[in-house]
Amino acid sequence: MLLSKWLRKPSLGVHQRAERRPVQGLAAYYRTGMTLKKAEIRDISASGLFAVTAERWMPGEVLSLILQREGPPERDQERRANVQAKAVWWGGDGVGLDFVINDEIEFNLWDGPLTNASGEHEPEDVIREFRIAEALTFLAQLCPERTKELTLLFRKEFSHTRALTAVEIALEAARMLTFRPDVAQLRVHPDLIYRVMESGSWAEDASVRRFWSGLLIASCTVGVPRDENLAYVEPLSQLLSKHIRIFTAACTRAKLSLAADGTVHAETSTCPIEEIIQITGARDIAKNERDMAHLFLMGLLDDRNRSLALLPVDEANLTPTPFGLEIYARCKGHAGPVKDFFGLPVAEAHAPALPADEPGEEESASPAPEA
């Protein structure tokens, strides 16, 4: 059989067995050199697609595709999906491609957790399913031994909303790690990655999701993964966006110092009530006090002098604790010493002082013999 004829015949791989359907308005973008080009998608399945294009990629060549609704390149990350695909056969008007997806994530495009109940599929439905696959592929790279459990979590246990939230947490972390040279070697402790996804899926808005993404990033290590960041999962799970705003203000405005044991401490800091209103966006003073009390009880803000009797009536205590500063650094993706995150200088090494009743080195030295 001539090679040209073989290339025009679909192989008997999984892309023939998976159900292919046309989806109106779905497009794939790809790069040729520095140029971003668009291909129409004639049909698509869980294992591959047919791209209508003049390109003729060689069989086995792997491409990076961006799936989105027809139109100009989408800037909103949540409205597009990234997927790796391998060229497998040529047709008269395009190329058949197979997706490069981890088999363990059990990707079924037409029967996923976000599938439209009517059975009709809009481009956004397909994109969301691929974003789940993209998130699970990333998580499987970080923790291969938890792939099946995470897949079950996303596909069976999460609600529609929780699945979308967990996807955003994972993909935000993936974007932040993209340019790390050691990204392929990064690993996360199995218990930690599961808890971050499970608890983080309840996050109510983007500000809280970013904290969960940061904690996931800070938990990545090369070599044997560690689980010390598990201590931050429970406190973070109790924070809403209003708490995040107050907590962030406390940590970013604090004047910090480094203790002898390497712990970062904040000087007592007060904040005018009017500024607290601006931070929270709520003019209900009693409500703001309750939200701050929540942070005090969690040990994120220092409760010393929190009583209104010890402060001017128009001020509130906004001092982060050392534990709070640790959580803030980790939730911003910092894995090293907390002092480095806040840019604190290394403490100068001082020689121990001599006892007052002992002479110094020069005084105790024997006089030089006379010539």
The tally of domains found in the chain comes to 3
Helix spans in the chain (H):
3-7, 14-17, 123-142, 147-152, 160-177, 190-200, 206-218, 233-237, 241-253, 273-280, 285-297, 322-331, 338-341, 361-364
Whether the CB-CB separation of 84 and 69 falls below 8 Å is answered with no
- Whether 128 and 79 map to the same domain: the answer is no
- Whether 106 and 213 map to the same domain: the answer is yes
- Whether 62 and 108 map to the same domain: the answer is no
Final residue before a domain boundary, out of 237, 270, 287: 237
CA gap 141, 183 in Å, rounded: 9
The owner of tokens 């929190």 is 306
- Whether 81 and 108 map to the same domain: the answer is no
Establish if 65 belongs to a structural domain: yes
- Whether 108 and 229 map to the same domain: the answer is yes
* Residue 257, both tokens: 């110092």
The reported pLDDT for the residue numbered 305 is 53
- Whether 109 and 228 map to the same domain: the answer is yes
Task: Please list the pLDDT of the chain residue by residue as tens digits (371 residues).
Answer: 333 443 444 443 444 456 788 888 999 999 988 889 999 999 998 889 999 999 999 999 999 999 999 999 999 988 999 999 999 999 889 999 999 988 888 787 776 554 555 455 788 888 999 999 999 999 999 999 999 999 999 989 999 999 999 999 999 999 999 999 999 999 999 999 999 999 999 998 999 999 999 999 999 999 999 999 999 999 999 999 999 999 999 999 999 999 988 899 999 988 898 999 999 988 888 899 899 999 999 999 998 755 544 555 678 889 999 999 999 999 999 999 999 999 988 654 433 444 444 444 433 334 444 43
CA gap 229, 215 in Å, rounded: 8
- Whether 131 and 217 map to the same domain: the answer is yes
CA gap 131, 167 in Å, rounded: 7
- Whether 183 and 96 map to the same domain: the answer is no
**Phi/psi at 175 (nearest 5 deg)?**
-65, -40
DSSP letters along 253-285, please? H--EEE-TTS-EEE---EEEHHHHHHHHS---H
Establish if 3 belongs to a structural domain: no
The reported pLDDT for the residue numbered 110 is 72
The reported pLDDT for the residue numbered 367 is 44
CA gap 27, 61 in Å, rounded: 20
Q: Which domain holds residue 169?
A: 102-113+124-237
Q: What sign does the dihedral 90-94-96-100 (CA atoms) show?
A: positive
